[in-house]
A and B are shown apart, each in its own frame.
Chain A
């Protein structure tokens, strides 16, 4: 079955080459579908991919970004456009782990190599649609657990913590929350409250301030991304509790650099977003060249970042 798929893919690219215009078209075309480019993380990722394209020079990159994190509609359209254009591979960071399965199935049926990165497609949805697709990406849950463990190590058993979640319904938000919860369980911490601040600095500032009022005994705060962590740090500064209460974040965006340095932020997690798309493209190109498709979960590196 896999062989047939490959043959079809080859046939499609042959047809394209036959009907195509220039010699340049012989280079495989990779369609990169990302989430919101208004998010620094994906912006970095795109730049990483562009550098990668220039460095390798043996493929053509077509990248598409979305308006916002939950713009499923545009992602589906992007995938369908790539199918129409007959690209060789689609590399996608799905905006929704379920809704994106059917369009990707259509892409595979059209003989296109599909690589799923950043956020894993839902296993159940994949099963229902009869799709087998590996996931190339970081372990959000594992990463959050690393950050959580750092906090637990600093605070010790029985310390009281709260979580700031990402957008309800987003898979990475859920995974990070689960990772935090894993660390809380293993580290013997006490979870007082867990709320969303929709990935946003200002909202995180407000929510954290109000949580501090409701629970004056908070010792540690886990934020599911660094934008929210910044808001938390500012809330602590306003409350005069900077340094007293420990904060961890996720993503390692440049803006938290100074905070890590002076200890206002205990730790964050780097998932090397810049390389993530590039790694996935490498995988895709190998499959296009004839290598077997990856299986299961190809984990990409994550690393805990602290001030020291």
Chain B
């Protein structure tokens, strides 16, 4: 209902950003800058090239998951299964990569493919089941959370899979001009998602679906396939995140990723995307992921206790949503 909404949702076709769109993201951006300033003053280590590289690496997985989650939340859904799907995709890829008789390049290619396929299939399943029967995605993906986790444990026999080709591991810690390659992958993914959401017919309909499912249906568009597509994208990103996870840690653990879904949802919501759908942007999600990552990093540098850290993170999530509420009101009319 806000004018700001129009900027992100209604006029994606227009070239560049309008002032209001910038204003909208500016709130989150300012919060991020505020955090950065506080941490820079409080810790000499914070604003160093090394630490910046670290932060970028650390937010990568959450950013990838959050980009996929943005699609699902924009249509008014939720995907609680991404953490477990990540584990399943990692284990499947881990099995693939350790298949005997493969050269390193083949093994890596197979693993990447396996993780993407596993993630995508889980996403399709989430989408088809919830859209076909019109069931709340909260419940369906909660089911998938357990199915994928169980499958990951079953396939791996609850054991961590390790010993991947050296090349794969190298990719995990590769940097270009100080920027981690894995982060660049995430950034590229975010850019593509932003293009899709703001410049394509599909993106327009995703926003439309979150605002008014009936209006989209009556205009002759298939609501079913749109929903399936959103969940499929989310599953696909979980698969990509699994690959990054493996490359970074050089293991595939069936218990990987527990709780990742909540971090991804938090990034999306802090980024100003409405939980009821139809409103938000990938740019916001990017900033949201940064806020979570910077907070986690900075609070450790400050030497705050684990429990204080947890509390502060909780407070920041709530404050971000309250701020968003006011921003929505301010830009009204």
Chain A: residues with CB nearer than 8 A to chain B?
Answer: 37-40, 43, 168, 193, 195-196, 200-202, 205-207, 209-211, 213-214, 216, 227, 230-231, 234, 237-239, 253-255, 258
Q: Which of B45, B46, B251 contacts A255 (CB 8 A)?
A: B251
In the complex, are the beta carbons of A213 and B51 less than 8 A apart?
yes
CA distance A152 to B297 in the complex (A): 28
Q: Which residues of chain B are within 8 angstroms of A253 by Cβ–Cβ distance?
A: 160
Q: Which residues of chain A are within 8 angstroms of B149 by Cβ–Cβ distance?
A: 38
Q: Which of A40, A206, A227 contacts B158 (CB 8 A)?
A: A40
Q: Which residues of chain A are within 8 angstroms of B307 by Cβ–Cβ distance?
A: 168
- Of all chain A residues, the one with the shortest Cβ separation from B149 is A38
In the complex, are the beta carbons of A254 and B249 less than 8 A apart?
no
Within 8 A of A (CB), among B248-286: 248-251, 253-258
Q: Which residues of chain B are within 8 angstroms of A39 by Cβ–Cβ distance?
A: 158, 255
Within 8 A of A (CB), among B57-114: 57-58, 61
Supplied contacts A210-B58, A230-B160, A255-B251, 20 more A-B pairs, CB within 8 Å: A37-B153, A38-B153, A38-B254, A40-B160, A168-B306, A200-B255, A201-B253, A201-B256, A202-B61, A202-B245, A202-B248, A206-B58, A209-B58, A210-B297, A211-B300, A213-B301, A230-B162, A234-B250, A237-B173, A238-B173
Chain B: residues with CB nearer than 8 A to chain A?
Answer: 43, 45-46, 48, 50-51, 54, 57-58, 61, 149, 153, 157-160, 162-163, 172-173, 245, 248-251, 253-258, 296-297, 300-301, 303, 306-307
CA distance A129 to B42 in the complex (A): 50
**Contact A214/B301 with A238-B57, A258-B163 known, Cβ cut-off 8 Å:** yes
Q: Which residues of chain B are within 8 angstroms of A209 by Cβ–Cβ distance?
A: 54, 57-58
- Of all chain A residues, the one with the shortest Cβ separation from B162 is A255
**Contact A255/B57 with A201-B249, A213-B45, A214-B301 known, Cβ cut-off 8 Å:** no
CA distance A158 to B57 in the complex (A): 32
Q: Which residues of chain B are within 8 angstroms of A254 by Cβ–Cβ distance?
A: 159-160, 162
Q: Which residues of chain B are within 8 angstroms of A40 by Cβ–Cβ distance?
A: 158-160
CA distance A234 to B245 in the complex (A): 11
Q: Which residues of chain A are within 8 angstroms of B61 by Cβ–Cβ distance?
A: 202
Return B98 CB to nearest CB of chain A, in Å: 12
List 14 A-B residue pairs with CB atoms under 8 Å apart, sorted by A's residue number: A37-B153, A193-B303, A195-B300, A200-B256, A205-B248, A210-B296, A210-B297, A213-B48, A213-B51, A213-B54, A230-B162, A230-B250, A238-B172, A258-B162
